[in-house]
Amino acid sequence: MFNIALYQPDIPQNTAAIIRLCSCFDTTLEIIEPCGFHIDDKKLKRVAMDYLDKSKIIIYSSYEKFLIRKKNSRVVLMTTKAKKNYNNFKFNLKDTILFGRESQGVPKIVHNNCYQKLKIPLKRNARSLNVGMAVAITLSEALRQNSNL
């Protein structure tokens, strides 16, 4: 099944909403530290509610450790800087779909290490979506393509 990965997330409420989403769709969530909050943050626990205990979460202490684990995997980066739309890409069940930090996205090294870079097309002059919304849209399409939704 797909994995969703968050690169150094900044906002605990967004991460908590993504935990709930991943739990509901039996998707593993991978968090690449450092985060802009502590994993045991009260705001995260309040939004995640009881889904925190029902979720599959892997935490990496660094991007380098994430890369080692993903050496033989397809990591698909969702970024506003991509040219290709997410709905024009064929997701595989073993893909890891990576999302950047709310405040800064991901650095160039992350762009360079990804199998593919995709975007969600937005109207002109729209900067970006909330990361939780972007995860929901992308995961929904990946599941639809693979007849799991």
pLDDT per residue over 84-113, tens digit each? 999 999 999 999 999 999 999 999 999 999
pLDDT (0 to 100) of residue 115? 96
Structure tokens at 95: 């893909």
pLDDT (0 to 100) of residue 40? 72
Other Cβ atoms within 10 Å of 115 Cβ, number: 14
Number of domains within the chain: 1
Residue 40's CATH number = 3.40.1280.10
Q: At 130, which amino acid appears? A: N
pLDDT per residue over 16-61, tens digit each? 899 999 999 999 999 999 988 877 757 666 666 676 677 898 999 9
pLDDT (0 to 100) of residue 127? 84
**Rounded to whole angstroms, how far apart are CA atoms 84 and 23?**
28
Q: How far is CA 7 from CA 17, 33, 98, 106, in A?
A: 15, 7, 7, 7
Whole-prediction pTM value? 0.92
**Rounded to whole angstroms, how far apart are CA atoms 147 and 81?**
28
**Rounded to whole angstroms, how far apart are CA atoms 47 and 98?**
21
Give the structural domain span for 102. 3-145
Structure tokens at 148: 């799991």
